[in-house]
Structure 1
Amino acid sequence: MKISNRSFPIHVHIVTIIIFVVVLATGTQVVLTNQAMSEVIFKANSKIFERIAEQTKHQLNSHYGTAFAALGSFSNSHGLKTSKGSDRLRVVPEVVHLLSQFEHVQTYVFEFEDGDSIVIKRINDALSPDIPIAHPDSQYLIVHQISGKKQAYTLDNNLNLVERIELDSEHFYANSRTSADVSPNTNTISKPTKLAHSTSMGIVISRTNEFGMRVSVDVLLKDLRDTLQDTLTNDSSIRVLYNDDGAVYAFSSGEGNQQDSGVLHISEINRDIVPHAIERKNGGETLGRFSYQGENWFGRIVTIRPLDSEHIHLLMAAKASSIFDEGELIKRQTFYASLLVFLIMLPCIYIVSRLISKPIVRARAKAKAIENFQFDNAPLPHSYIKEIQELNHAQVSTQSTISRFITLTDGIARQQNLDTMLELVCSNTAASASADGVLLYLLDAKGDQLIPHVAQFKPVEDVHAEPILVKDVTRFIEHIFNLKKPQAFPFNELTHLRANQPINDSCEVIYIPLQNREGLVIGSLGLIFEQGSADEVYRQHADYLKTLLGYVSVAIETQQMLESQRALLNSFIKVFAGSLDKKSPYTGNHCQRVPILTEWLTQAAHDSSLPPFKGFHLSEKEWQELKMAGCYMTVAKSLRQNMLSINRPSLRLFTIAFMKSERVSRSLNVIVKLSS
């Protein structure tokens, strides 16, 4: 059989399959891990944004809450409502205390309807340089105009007078007053602006009571900027706090903060992503993951309304690549670790594949040996793979079956005696089918009945089989001769079988018809199974039995034909010899006496223990040739003596041909052997 050049050893296929499975499993694991990692980081970043929004809202509430509470308290203060002149300065200690507690509040301004005003300002680094503060103990600047009298001085933390300073009062008050319209008993919040007499950005919260007194609070936005700055995680991070008008309260970026100078607006921010993200939000789109200028971003806008004031929005955005930096590192580490494990596993995979393929290679070599009829009885090594172990058993069984079949057919071909051949066939067939007994019936010469030739049953010492008349109308005859199909019968149901001891009721006999070349039934082979299940066993060995019995049927038919020809030849010779004895005056029944005497003498020599005959022995074939040789010799001798007396030319030619024939020569050689 020609093998394709594209075929490969089995261990190559096993290695390929294992590598494919490992790569598929590892790749799937890496992909799923990456997706899970991205999702985890995405959710974690969403949680961070939520915390930033909550923290910012809390910070705004803290900023606004302090100012709102102070405004409400002072605008409704009975002392401020009824006081006049210098009595109004009694509010200074209370304001200083508030300033000391809340660092994000810069200034308190009180403007009365009668023109009096009080400004209380914290002194810090953000104080405008045009205010000359010389003494280092100065912590608070007090500027007031009471009854047309203007004064400016500083206090320390204990409210002690530190120094008096000279100010341009008109300019100072002009910058300190709030020009925005304020509704009575309503808190008004200005846009982010540069605070009066300060270098810092902030907002001004104002409130007017029913007596016309206005209270204003300057609130710094630096704390908000610092809070947002602390939440930046990478260079691409952006935090923007703005209102509906686009005014920016706080802005922080990983690439550097916007300067505090000037009033900020969304359009003034030096990051193009900010207006793009706000436009997407205003357009009704959810930010989440979005793309901008070929880069993936992750962002969120949260609306905050501190203490029911105006809407303030917090924009948080960062590049996805920056957010997932650690995730990308984990992905790369996972990939390289998987690749390293895979490379380490390659030699192991190859070794394992060779170990797995080794029994298959041995099985292939065994199959090749069976193909070439090289039968080796050495068992194959045990395999822990069930299928390979079953394959080994199947090969051993196949070898045994083929070997048995070849041995049996060879034995059948070599057998000259029909009965011996039948014994050989029956014993081997019973062993092949694991039968407990075997029966063989052959049709007699007249075709009237089936004659038993073999009857064997291991559990019973003596089983007797009787002839079966073909004309009997029985189930056996119906199935074997008419239907020509195998049929199982209970042993006790068959009347032509008798045993010298009781047989189990489960015992069954399955008869298989024997057919000649023309398809005619010439006999039947029966297999006896003591425990029953004859049909099931036959189905397991049906193909083998059909092939074997087909060959046996032909061999039996051939033997029967040879026996018939041999009998016909012997009869012809005897008739010919008898005719010579009766016609010739020279023989004196010589042709009849000599063959018998020859057999007697040969048998005596065969049975003798004398030294000259010690090694003398004739086979069955030689016995047949001896019998024929006796007849041939006497006939030939008589023919030579009577050759001259034969007058008819045709008879003379026949006599000469007979004496020159091969069989006569062989027979004479046997006589020579006996003589020597």
Structure 2
Amino acid sequence: MLRKIKPAQVSLALLIASTITLAMLVLAIFLVGQTFRGMESAKVQAASVSARHLAISVDDRILAITAPPSTALAVLSHDPLASSTTLDQRLSRLPVIANILSSSDIVSAVYTGYADGDFFLLRKVRSSGVMQFPDAPDGTRFLLQAIDTEDGRQLREWRFYDEQLQLLERKTVPDYTYDPRTRPWFKAASDSPRTVLSAPYVFFTTRETGLTLSRRAARFGEQASIFGIDVTVSDLSHQLEELKQTPGTQIAIVNPENQVLASTTDNSDPGPAISGALNHRGTRVSNSSVTRYNVDGEDWYGMSEPLNALSAQQLNIAVTIPADELLAEVWETLARQTLIAGIIAIFLLIFGWFIGQRVGRPLERLTDQVSKLSRFRFDTQIKSDSYVREARKLGDAIDDMASTIRSFQSISTVLNRGQNLNELLLDILLQIAHIVGQERGAIYLFRGQQKDLSLAVNRDLDIPETIPGIAADLDDNELIRILRGHIGGHPVFAILRNREKQLVGVLIIEMEHGDHTHLSDDLIVFVDEIAGSAAVAIETRELIESQQALLEGIIRLVANAIDAKSPYTGGHCERVPKLAQMMVDEAITSTAPAFASFTMNDEQKYEFHLAAWLHDCGKITSPEFVVDKAVKLETIHNRIHDIRTRFEVLHRDAEIRYLERRLQGDDEASARTERDDLQARLQEEFAFLARANEGGEYMREEDIARIREIGQRPWQRHFSDRLGLSSDEKMALEGVPEAELPVTENLLNDRPEHQRSWGDRIPPVQRDDPANIWGFDMKLPEHAYNRGEIHNLTIAKGTLTDEERFKINEHIVQTICMLDALPLPSRLANVPRLAGTHHERMDGQGYPCRLSGDELGIPERIMAVADVFEALTAVDRPYKKGKTLTESLTIMARMVEEGHIDKDVFELFIRSGIYRTYAQQHLHPEQIDQVDESQFMNNH
């Protein structure tokens, strides 16, 4: 099933602030956009006007360039130079021409072309600031280029003059092939009586770009000489450079063939930017002559205007400006306006947030308070100080609801957390009285056997302790009638019944505040319903207490059954819990560093209490004949008697042998000596085996060897060993052939039938066993039992074989498995571990899990010490006597050194004097000797 998607949510303050700010931003963006478009249009229009003004300025400049030379040319057309026929005549007019050159910076040459092909030209050597003839002699100011015809042959020579027209050098230039009659300026002036201005072109000699003004001599008709003046236009490029609007602006004057006559760049080619302006490429901007286009990834604004000063030559001036430079001020203005708009937006955002907070804070606070209610925080006071009327009313309504819920919560808390029944009843009474606004009340509990109501709790009411004559089957009305006969005032009664509608008790609230005669029906129903919950809680608490008592009883029953199972261990399961509890209480109050942070709450103490009582519950599965095994040959009975019988047979065989020798006539003394020696040896050997059967702390190797030697003594069996057997004995003899009678056997035997295999009931105690889920780590004997006579009699220490020792130790495995299988509540989850670790050692060599001291908590270490001390001092063990206090503590001190028990717990045990308190309660007087505690404290 698809989950319903909740719509996105925003805070009211954020909504108000963002709405105001967004509106401002939209307006600001619109205004900035319009401003940008307007400023862009204005800048483009300004650039267009500037281009027109530039064209006018260039026109004026061209007129300024051409007017003075034109005047000088008009005067010169009347000069005698026009009619000169020889070079000497013409040289006489050099001062006049030199004055014309010196009077103007832009006039580069003055010359005269004659109808017969002669040519007379005087020019400046340095023009436009550049030395045009680097090979000229030092000090050269003017260069005279002359072509003179004498006697039908032309003389071509160049003459170099200084500032005073002193001749510096003269040289003939044969390859100076120049015919003025073929030049455009000559032809144009020949056909016109006025001054003719040529189109800009490249001069023949200097390769400069300039204009030529030419005029026909005034008095000689069509065959007259032609005067010319060359004017350079290089200063136009400098003027154009000064007229650039931006550093990257490009300006160029071009002719109809797109030849650059003057530009702000050094290129003779127009370039892509200028070409774009001339061709009006791109998009026209704002109804102007300006177009916007892109060149190599860069945007340009371009425009072109015709030059009127030389209209005949159809010259144009082109202007192109990089977009980023043209609009730089626009972008700066835009950035400034955007910054201002951003500042205003931030201010409005703060202002809107402030207003939104003022409006939304009460709602937000109310939301947080209601949110706490949703998280079951019913102790939160709900109120709203908002100026919004609806928000204030909503807060009041929710506060009333929260107050009601808090009342129910308080009652629920009391019902659920109450431990002691009387305290629980008192809390219920106080809470219900508080809810209805009263102070006094009482609760009676029904006692079925006495058929009365017994006062359980009373809050300042003068009422009887018991109300007799209460039957279990009374209805509520009859019961209330009886109660009113015993209780005066203005009480409200609530009959308490359990789930089966059985009478549990009565709750009474004295209505001493308010109108007693007009009690609200809702109030009465409410008190009755809450009282019903109290009845269920009372019943539940009684059930819990009874179950806990039952569990306690069963645990004690199991412990007592284990102790009763063996008359030799009676009281062990009872004494260890008492001793362990004494040590735990001491550890909690101890200020020693090892116990400074140790503490236990009531539940942990109860958990430890149960674990102590159940620490040996696995012994219920231990075979009784193993637990009670007092001598080495004991199983169900002491098999020393079987061996004694065999000795009896051998003893009798010796007597029979003696009698047989007498009948055979042997020497009586010799026969008697043989008999007596053998019988004495048999007596001594049996006594030795009987002593070995009793067990002890240590058996010597020579004693073990002697047992094996005695066991080799033969005897003869005449009766079948297969008769009268149990099914278990028969199964053990399967596959073993019966010997033919009579059969000679060893006195002591370790027979195959003495061994019992594990079969399919192998305990899961090995670490690599998949069934071992508890982490056991124990060595498993090869056989479940080995009842071999020599095997048992040669036990080196004590009375138990390795197989029987494992059976004894297995009780702790069974303890853990049994307790782990119980459905214990979580508060008792550590019972299996606490009960199953008292045979672990601090050095990690204990059982069943080989836990080290670091893996054992203080309660587990205490349990181990308590178990050891009880075992050492117990007087009901068949295989040893109860030791004195000094003996026991000495052994325990050695166990501390060997890493068996914990040093800190042992010292706490001695320092607190618990050992002596326990001894006075459970040991015989002869065991309680004077203990020198210092010898145990100083050495450890």
Q: TM-score range by the shorter chain?
A: 0.3 to 0.5
Q: TM-score normalised to the size of structure 1?
A: 0.45
Larger radius of gyration: 2
Q: TM-score normalised to the size of structure 2?
A: 0.34
